[in-house]
Amino acid sequence: MTRIVMIEDNKDLAYGLANNLEIEGYEVLVEGDGAEGLRRVLQQPPDLLILDLMLPGMDGYRILKSIREAELEFPVLILSARGEEVDKVRGFRVGADDYVTKPFGILELLARIEALLRRVGKSEAGESVPAQLAFGDVTIDTTTRIIRRGVEEVILTPKEYELLVALVRKEGAVISRDDLLHDVWGHGGPILTRTVDTHIAQLRRKLERDPAHPDHILTVRKVGYRLAT
């Protein structure tokens, strides 16, 4: 499972963001102190670091500088209320891979995290898939991750996208909730199957003409789901 460390001293923000990331299938560790956060990532480097700049113990710039001096190359996304151009330039100069200012949109942040992980080969996505997939009036461009229903572009979260691709690749065969949890989220367990159901409901809302009576994303009672083309 992809492991993300977040160094953020705002407990409410950290809790909310960590919850969203865990729903998307990431393992998340949170540190509120800069010096302790640096110690953690030096001892056990994560797949990605989300880093605030204004922290107790040690500021984010010094943390990032120390990480790069240690020749650790995992992606770092700065998440800060400091939105001036000079702050962003300094962040990139000391080794940041992306910079998001607070307040932020959660969907955009999730997409940026997914893009950073994909860039370094740590995306949760599965095997390679064809460049174009389709069912009904829905088309999926897997090279750009753009989904259209008819001519209208549909915005999916990273995990909604991966769930949809997992269903399409089965070419109408039934796939169980446990298999979807394993393939898309990297883990399983009966308590977590509700996560699949919630994401399926979102896909139906965005892609079906009548989400209550879907034509394509179908439930197979007591088993899982299948996609009818």
d(C-alpha 208, C-alpha 196), whole Å: 17
Mean pLDDT for 105-113 is 85
**pLDDT, tens digit, for every residue of 152-207?**
999 988 778 889 988 998 888 999 888 887 777 655 555 456 788 889 999 999 99
193 inside domain: yes
Instruction: State the pLDDT at residue 127.
Output: 44
Residue 12: give its domain's CATH number. Answer: 3.40.50.2300
Residue 120, number of CB atoms within 10 A of its CB: 13
Rg, C-alpha atoms of the chain: 19
* 156: containing domain: 132-227
**124 belongs to a structural domain:** no
Please check whether residues 60 and 94 belong to one and the same domain. yes
pLDDT at 23: 86
Q: Which of 119, 151, 182 is the last residue of a domain?
A: 119
Whole-number mean pLDDT of the chain?
87
pLDDT of residue 126: 40
* % residues pLDDT > 90 (the chain): 52
**Confidence (pLDDT) at 124:** 47
Count up the domains in the chain and report the number: 2
CB 7 within 8 A of CB 52: yes
The answer to whether the beta carbons of residues 29 and 57 sit under 8 Å apart is no
Q: How confident is the model at residue 112 (pLDDT cuts 50, 70, 90)?
A: confident
Q: pLDDT digit string (tens) for 115-152?
A: 888 776 655 444 445 678 889 999 998 877 889 999 99
Q: Residue 186: its pLDDT value, please?
A: 59
- pLDDT higher than 80, residue 215: yes
Contact status, residue 119 vs residue 75, Cβ threshold 8 Å: yes
What is the rounded CA–CA span in Å between residue 220 and residue 11?
A: 41
The token pair at 140 is 């999926």
- Which pLDDT value is given to residue 136? 92
Residues 111 and 200 in one domain: no
Does 126 reside within a domain? Answer: no
Backbone phi, then psi, for 109, in 5-degree steps? -65, -45
For the segment 22-40, what is each residue's pLDDT rounded down to a tens digit? 988 899 999 999 999 999 9
Six-digit token string for 124: 């949760």
Find the distance separating the first CA and the last CA of the chain, reported in whole Å: 31
Proportion of the chain above pLDDT 70, given as a percent: 91
> Which of 60-64, 101-105, 187-191, 221-225 is the least confident region?
187-191
- 162 and 68 share one domain: no
pLDDT value at residue 202: 93
Residue recorded with tokens 């990273």 = 158
Q: Based on the domain organization, do 56 and 109 belong to the same domain?
A: yes
Predicted local distance difference test score (pLDDT) of residue 185: 67
> For the whole model, what pTM was predicted?
0.57
Tell me what pLDDT residue 128 has: 47
Among the candidates 82, 97, 119, a domain finishes at 119
